[in-house]
A and B are shown apart, each in its own frame.
Chain A
Amino acid sequence: MKLIIAYIQPHKLNDVKKTLYKAEVHKMSVTNALGCGEQLGYEESYRGIKFEVNLLKKVRLEIAVNEDFVQKAIDAIIEGAKTGNIGDGKIFVVDLIECVRIRTGDKGKQAIG
């Protein structure tokens, strides 16, 4: 089992959802996030004072998948989120030790599925 964490541009969320659905990945968590990478944030000003580096608004996806869906999910996220510009985002894949479904107590592969 793996946990896929992806940071993407907020306006690409709908595209990513569509491509994930096409790849039959239907389960995900989405949260708003702030951050910056190669874009180095941006500048804002208020009453003549420039802000220091400002974090950009991003969307964070978390998807827990079984081994056979890892590559499919990654490909789907890239397909939906890629524009070719800096700021498109990053995908992290980490090992997932356990997964429990609260309602039934199912564990592991069954709980993810």
Chain B
Amino acid sequence: MVPKIKKSYSAFNLKIIPALLVSVILSAQASAEVEPIDIASLKQGLDTVWVLVAAFLVFFMQAGFGMVEAGFIRAKNTCNILTKNFLDFCMATLGFFLVGYALMFGNGNSFWGTSGWALSGLAGETASGIPVFAFWLFQAAFCGAAATIVAGGMAERMKFSAYLIYSFIISALIYPIIGHWIWGGGWLSDMGFFDFAGSTVVHTTGGIAALIGTIILRPREGKYAIDGKANAIPAHSIPLASLGVFILWFGWFGFNAGSTLSVGDGFLIGRVAANTNIAAALGGIAAIVTAWKRFGKPDLSMAMNGTLAGLVAVTAPCACIEPWAAAVIGIVAGIICVLGVEFLDKLRIDDPVGAVPVHGMCGIWGTISVGIFGKDALGLANNGFIYGGNPMQLGIQIVGSVSAVAFVLITMGTLFKLIDITVGLRVNREEELRGLDIGEHGMEAYGGFQIFSTS
């Protein structure tokens, strides 16, 4: 019985295949006759999908930041840091919707845009032909990334209400103005400054804001002894932090490769993605080797910071460099990151998760590296310094980076000072010792688990 059924089944199959083929061909022909494929709208559709997929990946990086920061701090502040991570994306969306996008990409002067408030009165598509709402979502996710970097640097002691105010203002005003200079047709882009996906716009902004914030906020209780020696305040969940770094690395492919904003040039997307991965990997290797040599053990937290440092650094140059240069940029970033962590401890600047070395220092390094390793054959205005010794592009990159750092230091410094004298920037000592989870939110991150620690 069984073979017979099988036979009749296969005969049925054989009969139907030609019929299917014919009908597929006919229907394809028919649709071609009725509705000819419009290459322009097909291209726009593909570009839109690409930009949106990238936007979703960049959005997912928010989860990465949340896990890294939560993992690197103590259990008693976990709920607080995650609430900050969650709400800063909400605030960034609001700020970038109402004001930020208009300041960044609206028509205006060399310093800020003045049209498109609350996304109204905009043309349907951007200059490169992407629907403006898709482009907005992509850019809003970037804005959220810049805002959330600061949460880590100021973790375990910053008031939640102060954080809400800060995150709205950086996304509505500070980040978009720097963005306009570089990506919105402002004075730096006129000069030929090159920041492909945001080493300056996103990472230097976030990292330097974290630096000035943590200086004004002062170190955590117990971080530095009276003689100035640093105490270790160990991470409460290395597994969470590792998951976060993997999510960030994954999302970064959207961050950088998506910044092509178009699927037209596959070679460009390929180069960007490959360079991104090479710099990340080499950053991790360089950081763990440096930590191993200096501290005697291969510290995973440093390897993870080093990978992020490589990613931050390669974000500006990834479109205009050769892969070997991405490797060099990643290695230097990994080393900068470890030395940066030590250096901050020497200055008694308490940055619990390494936001300043990773995003601030390596954002600056990545921006400058464009002027060293960039190639005009790959779309840069001038060749980098190593190709013929022309210092022009290097000079432009330094001017851009220094201006962004100065602007953030002044504006964010003022903002944090204002918040400090109005609503207050820091929780009181008793609340800090007990943990911000209970003091600020009245709840614990790990309800039902006994978490006992003397730090």
Residues of A within 8 A of B (CB): 44-52
Question: Using Cβ atoms and an 8 Å threshold, which residues of chain A touch B233?
Answer: 46
Q: In whole angstroms, what is the CA distance A69 to B322 when docked?
A: 78
Question: Using Cβ atoms and an 8 Å threshold, which residues of chain B touch A45?
Answer: 232, 295-297, 299
Which chain A residue lies CB-closest to B354? A47
Known: A46-B234, A51-B234. 12 other contacts (CB 8 A): A45-B232, A45-B297, A46-B235, A47-B232, A47-B354, A48-B291, A48-B299, A48-B302, A48-B341, A49-B230, A49-B231, A51-B232
Which chain A residue lies CB-closest to B235? A46
Q: In whole angstroms, what is the CA distance A46 to B305 when docked?
A: 13
Is residue B301 contacting chain A, with contact meaning CB distance below 8 A?
A: yes
Is residue B342 contacting chain A, with contact meaning CB distance below 8 A?
A: yes
Q: How far is the CB of B306 from chain A (nearest CB, A)?
A: 12
Question: Using Cβ atoms and an 8 Å threshold, which residues of chain B touch A52?
Answer: 231
Question: Using Cβ atoms and an 8 Å threshold, which residues of chain A touch B354?
Answer: 47
Is residue B441 contacting chain A, with contact meaning CB distance below 8 A?
A: no
Q: In whole angstroms, what is the CA distance A49 to B345 when docked?
A: 9
Is residue B294 contacting chain A, with contact meaning CB distance below 8 A?
A: yes
Q: How far is the CB of A31 from chain B (nearest CB, A)?
A: 12
Q: Would A47 and B296 count as touching, CB distance under 8 A?
A: no
Could you say which of B294, B296, B299, B342 contacts A46, with CB atoms under 8 Å apart? B299
Which chain B residue lies CB-closest to A52? B231
Q: In whole angstroms, what is the CA distance A6 to B313 when docked?
A: 55
A-B pairs with the 3 shortest C-beta distances? A49-B232, A46-B232, A46-B234
Q: In whole angstroms, what is the CA distance A60 to B327 when docked?
A: 52
CB proximity to A under 8 Å, residues B340-362:
341-342, 345, 354
Q: Would A48 and B234 count as touching, CB distance under 8 A?
A: no
Question: Using Cβ atoms and an 8 Å threshold, which residues of chain B touch A49?
Answer: 230-232, 345
From B231, B232, B301, B341, residue with most partner A Cβ within 10 Å:
B232
Could you say which of A44, A47, A51 contacts B301, with CB atoms under 8 Å apart? A47
Q: Would B301 and A46 count as touching, CB distance under 8 A?
A: yes
Q: Would A48 and B235 count as touching, CB distance under 8 A?
A: no
Question: Using Cβ atoms and an 8 Å threshold, which residues of chain A touch B299?
Answer: 45-48
From A45, A46, A48, A50, residue with most partner B Cβ within 10 Å:
A48
Which chain B residue lies CB-closest to A49? B232
Q: In whole angstroms, what is the CA distance A51 to B453 when docked?
A: 14
Question: Using Cβ atoms and an 8 Å threshold, which residues of chain B touch A46?
Answer: 232-235, 299, 301
Q: In whole angstroms, what is the CA distance A73 to B53 when docked?
A: 68
5 of the cross-chain contacts (CB-CB < 8 Å) are: A44-B234, A45-B295, A46-B232, A47-B299, A48-B345
Which chain A residue lies CB-closest to B302? A47
Which chain B residue lies CB-closest to A48? B295
Q: In whole angstroms, what is the CA distance A29 to B295 when docked?
A: 41
Q: In whole angstroms, what is the CA distance A75 to B368 when docked?
A: 71
Question: Using Cβ atoms and an 8 Å threshold, which residues of chain A touch B301?
Answer: 46-47
Could you give, for residues 224-264 of chain B, a 1 whenever the CB lies within 8 Å of some chain A CB and a 0 otherwise?
00000011111100000000000000000000000000000
Q: In whole angstroms, what is the CA distance A47 to B235 when docked?
A: 10
Question: Using Cβ atoms and an 8 Å threshold, which residues of chain A touch B230?
Answer: 49
Question: Using Cβ atoms and an 8 Å threshold, which residues of chain B touch A48?
Answer: 291, 294-295, 299, 302, 338, 341-342, 345
Could you give, for residues 280-303 of chain B, a 1 whenever the CB lies within 8 Å of some chain A CB and a 0 otherwise?
000000000001001111010110
Which chain B residue lies CB-closest to A50? B232
Q: How far is the CB of B358 from chain A (nearest CB, A)?
A: 12
Q: In whole angstroms, what is the CA distance A104 to B427 when docked?
A: 52
Q: How far is the CB of A95 from chain B (nearest CB, A)?
A: 31
Question: Using Cβ atoms and an 8 Å threshold, which residues of chain A touch B231?
Answer: 49, 52
Q: How far is the CB of B446 from chain A (nearest CB, A)?
A: 18
Question: Using Cβ atoms and an 8 Å threshold, which residues of chain A touch B345?
Answer: 48-49
CB proximity to A under 8 Å, residues B296-324:
296-297, 299, 301-302
Q: In whole angstroms, what is the CA distance A49 to B295 when docked?
A: 8
Question: Using Cβ atoms and an 8 Å threshold, which residues of chain A touch B291?
Answer: 48
Q: In whole angstroms, what is the CA distance A50 to B225 when docked?
A: 13
Q: In whole angstroms, what is the CA distance A52 to B235 when docked?
A: 16
Q: In whole angstroms, what is the CA distance A44 to B231 when docked?
A: 12
From A44, A45, A49, residue with most partner B Cβ within 10 Å:
A49
Q: How far is the CB of B229 from chain A (nearest CB, A)?
A: 9
CB proximity to A under 8 Å, residues B320-341:
338, 341
Q: In whole angstroms, what is the CA distance A71 to B99 when docked?
A: 80
Q: In whole angstroms, what is the CA distance A92 to B410 when docked?
A: 64
Q: In whole angstroms, what is the CA distance A49 to B302 when docked?
A: 12
Question: Using Cβ atoms and an 8 Å threshold, which residues of chain A touch B295?
Answer: 45, 48
Q: In whole angstroms, what is the CA distance A80 to B291 when docked?
A: 41
Q: In whole angstroms, what is the CA distance A94 to B354 when docked?
A: 51
Q: In whole angstroms, what is the CA distance A25 to B248 when docked?
A: 55
Q: In whole angstroms, what is the CA distance A50 to B296 when docked?
A: 10
